[in-house]
Amino acid sequence: MTDALASVTCFLLDMDGTFYLGNRLIDGALKFIEVLRQQKKQFLFLTNNSSKHSRMYAEKITALGLPISAEQVFTSGEATALYLKREYPDARLFVVGTPALEDEFRQHGLTLVQHNADVVVLGFDTTLTYQKLWALCDYVRAGVPYIATHPDYNCPTETGFMPDIGAMIAFVKASTNREPDVVIGKPNRYIIEELAGKLHVPLNRLAMIGDRLYTDIALGKTAGIITVLVLSGETKLEDLETSPYQPTYVFNHLGDVADYLLKLEEERF
C-alpha cells in the first residue's frame, strides 16, 4: 500500500507553532526544507495570522535562516482581500486590523472607510482599541455584512499564548449575538481554493502541516487534503482523544517529518 505522504508534491506550512515560535526556529525546521528541496517538492507558508502581510513574514523567515520571497507566503489577509475583491468589488470597508492588513487591502484596490461602511472586516488586530471594537459592534448589530479573516483563538509565542481573533469574535458575539457571516482562513475552503488556483496544484497533491486541530487539521475535512499535526505549538497529544478533527499523520516537529520523508524515499529503492 502506497503511503499517502509519498504522493504529496506541495507542502503547506503553518508558521506560528510549526516553523517557529517567536524568533526561534523549531527543531528540524531547516532540515525539513532541505529534504523537500532534495526530493524536488514544493513548499509554501500558509498562515491564518492576518496581522502582517506576506512580505513581513518573508523578511522574518529570511532573517531566521531561510531566504524566501513574499510569493512563498500566503496569509488569510491576502485570501480575504481576494475574496472581497471578487464578492464586494465596490464596497466601502470598515477594517478592524493592523496597518499591515489595511495596506494589504489597499494594494488590492479596496476602499477603506471609518463611516458609512458597506462591509466590516475583522482581522487579528494587535493594535486593537476599545473604540474600534465599539464601532465594529455597532456595524454588526446594524446587520452590515461581517467578514473575519480567520477563527484562531490563540497565537503561540515563546512564552505561551496571546489572544487571537477568536477572542475578538467572541467579544462581538457577546455584545451583538452575531457570528461572522464568512470566515476566510483555515479551516475554511476559501483559503485553500484561492491557493490551489495560485499554485496550479490539485488538492490530492497537497498536504497541510500545522499545530492546531481546529484550523490546520480541520482542513482535512473541509478541503479534503492530507493533514500533518506537529506537537510543537498549541496542540498536545492528549487533545486528539476528544477532537473531531483527526490528522492523517502526527509528529513531534518538522524534523521528524523530514526523517519520515527520507525513510519513504529509501523504501522506494
Question: Is 206 in the same domain as 159?
Answer: no
Full residue range of the structural domain in which residue 124 is found: 80-183
Query: Does some domain include residue 32?
Result: yes
Per-residue pLDDT band at 247 (split at 50, 70, 90): very high
* CATH code of residue 132: 3.40.50.1000
pLDDT in tens, 204-245: 899 999 998 988 999 988 999 999 999 999 899 999 999 999
What pLDDT was estimated at residue 116? Answer: 97
Question: Is 159 in the same domain as 226?
Answer: no
Query: Does some domain include residue 118?
Result: yes
Q: Which of 95, 97, 52, 44 is nearest to 71 (CA)?
A: 44
pLDDT in tens, 11-56: 999 998 899 988 899 989 999 999 999 999 999 999 888 999 899 9
Query: Does some domain include residue 66?
Result: no
Query: Does some domain include residue 57?
Result: no
Query: Does some domain include residue 205?
Result: yes
Domain termination site, one of 116, 149, 183: 183
- Asked if residue 1 has pLDDT above 90, the reply is no
Question: Is 177 in the same domain as 124?
Answer: yes
pLDDT in tens, 153-192: 988 777 888 999 999 999 999 999 999 999 999 999 889 9
Least confident of 20-34, 56-70, 193-207: 193-207
- Asked if residue 144 has pLDDT above 50, the reply is yes
Question: Is 172 in the same domain as 195?
Answer: no
pLDDT in tens, 89-108: 999 999 999 999 999 999 99
Question: Is 174 in the same domain as 213?
Answer: no
- Asked if residue 125 has pLDDT above 50, the reply is yes
Query: Does some domain include residue 170?
Result: yes
- pTM of this structure: 0.87
Mean pLDDT of 71-93: 94
Question: Is 173 in the same domain as 190?
Answer: no
Domain termination site, one of 131, 150, 183: 183
Mean pLDDT of 104-133: 97
Query: Does some domain include residue 234?
Result: yes
Question: Is 178 in the same domain as 194?
Answer: no
Question: Is 31 in the same domain as 108?
Answer: no
- Asked if residue 249 has pLDDT above 80, the reply is yes
What pLDDT was estimated at residue 2? Answer: 67
What pLDDT was estimated at residue 220? Answer: 86
Percent of the chain with pLDDT over 90: 80
Domain termination site, one of 127, 155, 183: 183
Please state the domain count of the chain: 2
